[in-house]
């Protein structure tokens, strides 16, 4: 019988950092939950004890749900990975990139695959990032200009993103940015539906993810976001920006809306999200029904970008060694076992700036969720603590069973 003593110790260690009001954790083996843990309170005001149906802002874990939706549409042959983005959104036909201190015309078109493997060069628009200065006014005005207007769309947001200067020629480097938001606009073009309706039809309804949406379905179960004014000057200003402007694009809306940040503003529970992760082990849902094909799973976890020691972006996001991971479609994929903490080759998943973290391990048939609610939540530290504790327990169990 497996015990999770090291996992529990890791969770307590993370909680004692003080970056989140609560932590909800779930681990499953062969799609069966074998460990659940909830610690802390969802709100500093009412001191409500954390429970497994608490709603969390999963931030960039949203990309796992979004890419599942994109893969479902790919299986229906609604687009090709090599399609030019401007085929669907003409505003992307003529773009510019930064070259040193100069702006030059982009020579090559951005393709759909560049969006999903983060090689388009499209930035997020960080407040203290010289290359993103043009992006910053758009970033700061999202809440007012897009997300509070019920009749707006992901397509219109994509057209606005097309105005941004990019970092490099498509396919030549890796940069975390607003790529899934552009893809959500393409989804609206190829389906003639709102993206929020498409992902609900393709992912949430089939998997019975009834608590998952791009808004809080039940405010009483919402977990407070703990703002942590720490770390670098860039992070401090980034946090202040979100605190002051109340960015519903990231921190979650109370009301349903049509324009969402596809890769960053999903709301879910740990138990709900585990339903999605379980399908990524073998393409089948918990009832044994087909959800994604074997080809789609292979595409998801293929090496679309190989990190190098020089690429600091990945380590900045996760704290994990870029020499041990490749990038698939919206997920990290373990490619080497050189550095601690050790998982298994082929392990994949992603995290969110609020501290939510996921693991899908096809070798052990393990899926795991560790939900936090901080901004930022020291992912570079918390992710590694959780992985180390969890895999101490998993390795001990599987190596002796």
Domain ranges of the chain: 5-74+209-400, 80-196
Q: What is the pLDDT of residue 133?
A: 46
The share of the chain scoring above pLDDT 70, in percent, equals: 85
Is residue 142 within a helix (H) or strand (E), and if so which, with residue range?
Answer: helix 135-142
| Position 232 confidence tier, pLDDT thresholds 50, 70, 90 | very low
Question: Is the predicted pLDDT of residue 132 greater than 80, yes or no?
Answer: no
Torsion sign across C-alpha atoms 289, 293, 296, 298 = positive
d(CA 309, CA 206): 40
Q: What is the pLDDT of residue 268?
A: 97
Q: What is the pLDDT of residue 43?
A: 79
Q: Does residue 195 or residue 321 have the better pLDDT?
A: 195
| Helices and strands counted in the chain (H then E) | 13, 14
Q: What is the pLDDT of residue 149?
A: 54
Vertex 316 angle, CA 177 and 393, to 5°: 115
Q: Is the peptide bond before 197 cis (omega within 30 degrees of 0)?
A: no
| Position 240 confidence tier, pLDDT thresholds 50, 70, 90 | very low
Which DSSP string corresponds to 156-215? HHHHHHTTSPBSSSTTSS----THHHHHHHHHHHHHSS-HHHHHIIIIITTTT-TT-BSB
Q: What is the pLDDT of residue 254?
A: 63
Question: Is the predicted pLDDT of residue 140 greater than 50, yes or no?
Answer: no
Q: Does residue 122 or residue 358 have the better pLDDT?
A: 358
| Position 249 confidence tier, pLDDT thresholds 50, 70, 90 | very low
What residues are paired with 36 via a beta bridge?
26
Q: What is the mean pLDDT of the chain?
A: 87
Q: Mean of the pLDDT values across residues 41-60?
A: 90
Contacts of 135 (CB under 8 A, 6+ apart): 123, 124, 125, 164, 165
CATH topology of domain 80-196: Methane Monooxygenase Hydroxylase; Chain G, domain 1 (1.20.58)
Q: Mean of the pLDDT values across residues 129-158?
A: 58
Q: What is the pLDDT of residue 152?
A: 82
Question: Is the predicted pLDDT of residue 244 greater than 80, yes or no?
Answer: no
Do 5-74+209-400 and 80-196 show the same overall fold? no
CATH topology of domain 5-74+209-400: Beta-lactamase (3.40.710)
């Amino acid at each position: 019988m497996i015990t999770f003593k090291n996992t529990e110790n890791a969770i307590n260690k993370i909680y004692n950092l003080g970056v989140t009001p609560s932590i909800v954790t779930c681990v499953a083996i062969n799609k069966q939950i074998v460990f659940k843990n909830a610690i802390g309170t969802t709100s500093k005001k009412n001191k409500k004890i954390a429970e497994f149906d608490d709603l969390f802002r999963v931030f960039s874990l949203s990309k796992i749900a979004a890419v599942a939706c994109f893969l479902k549409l790919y299986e229906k042959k609604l687009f090709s990975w090599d399609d030019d983005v401007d085929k669907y959104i003409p505003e992307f036909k003529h773009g510019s990139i930064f070259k040193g201190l100069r702006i030059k015309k982009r020579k090559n078109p951005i393709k759909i695959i560049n969006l999903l493997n983060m090689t388009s060069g499209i930035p997020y628009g960080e407040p203290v990032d010289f290359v993103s200065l043009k992006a910053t006014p758009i970033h700061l005005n999202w809440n007012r200009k897009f997300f509070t207007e019920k009749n707006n769309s992901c397509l219109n947001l994509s057209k606005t993103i097309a105005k941004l200067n990019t970092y490099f020629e498509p396919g030549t480097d890796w940069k975390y940015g607003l790529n899934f938001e552009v893809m959500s606009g393409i989804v609206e073009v190829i389906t003639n539906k709102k993206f929020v309706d498409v992902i609900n039809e393709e992912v949430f309804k089939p998997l019975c993810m009834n608590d998952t949406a791009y808004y809080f379905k039940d405010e009483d179960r919402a977990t407070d976001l703990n703002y942590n004014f720490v770390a670098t000057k860039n992070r401090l200003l980034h946090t202040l920006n979100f605190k002051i402007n109340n960015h519903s694009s990231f921190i979650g809306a109370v009301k349903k809306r049509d324009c969402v940040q596809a890769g960053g503003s999903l709301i879910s529970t740990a138990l709900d999200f585990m339903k999605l992760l379980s399908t990524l082990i073998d393409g089948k849902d918990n009832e044994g029904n087909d959800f994604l094909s074997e080809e789609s799973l292979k595409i998801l976890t293929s090496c679309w970008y190989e990190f190098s020691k020089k690429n600091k972006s990945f380590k900045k996001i996760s704290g994990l060694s870029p020499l041990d991971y490749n990038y698939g479609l919206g997920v990290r994929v373990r490619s080497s076992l050189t550095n601690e903490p050790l998982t298994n080759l082929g392990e994949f998943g992603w995290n969110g700036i609020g501290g939510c973290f996921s693991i899908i391990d096809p070798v052990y048939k393990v899926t795991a969720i560790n939900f936090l609610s901080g901004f930022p939540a020291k992912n570079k530290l918390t992710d590694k603590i959780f992985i180390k504790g969890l895999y101490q327990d998993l390795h001990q169990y599987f190596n002796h069973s």
